Each structure stands twice: as structure tokens, then as C-alpha cells.
Structure 1
Amino acid sequence: MARSGRVCRRRGDAKWNGTALYRFEDGRIAESTYVEDLLDLQLRLGITEIPAA
């Protein structure tokens, strides 16, 4: 299942992607894990940058 988040900032919205993984037991969610691409979000917001090689 894919999911995305949103953060409001002065000049518009920043969007990022993530993934939700679920494990089911007896028809119910027994475990869930969420993974989001926060590096891409930080790059888009200008919070961090990747140093030149």
C-alpha cells in the first residue's frame, strides 16, 4: 500500500512518498511498518543538501 504525506510551507506544499507494510493474523492487522522518503522531503524543503563529490 503506498501512501504520501504533505507539509505546508510558504510557497506551496511539499509532497513525499512512503510505503506501509501490514502483516495479518486471523484476519486482523498484527504488525505494521511505515517507510517514508524523508531525505527527498528535506532536500525539497531546503533543510539539507547532498555535498558535492
Structure 2
Amino acid sequence: MKVTERPLYRLVQERKLPAFKVGNSWRFLREDLARWISVQSREASTPDREHN
């Protein structure tokens, strides 16, 4: 994903990024990440309706 650990942990803690913990390690399912990226991409490309 080309990001450092800190922003990832923040997103996980805020429950904005799908992940789960196994022991002391965080795990990310490839399918969940692909879905999350797709949603983020759509939201970023959708014009802000509040300013219309």
C-alpha cells in the first residue's frame, strides 16, 4: 500500500480499515483491502454534493 505503519494503525483503530488481530499481529484479507480501496477510490472521484 506504500504507507507507513502509523497511518495504517490509526485507520484500523478508527475501524476505517478492515483488519483483525492474530496474537500480536494485525492481519488484512486481500479481498477486504481490495473492496476498501475500491470504495475509497469511488468516494474520491465523486463530486462533493454539498457544494452544488
TM-score range, shorter chain: 0.3 to 0.5
> If each structure's helix is expressed as a fraction of its own residues, which one has the higher value?
2
Return the TM-score normalized by structure 2. 0.38
> If each structure's strand is expressed as a fraction of its own residues, which one has the higher value?
1
Q: Select the structure with the greater relative contact order (CA < 8 A; seq sep ≥ 6).
A: 1
Return the TM-score normalized by structure 1. 0.38
Specify the structure having the higher radius of gyration (Cα): 1
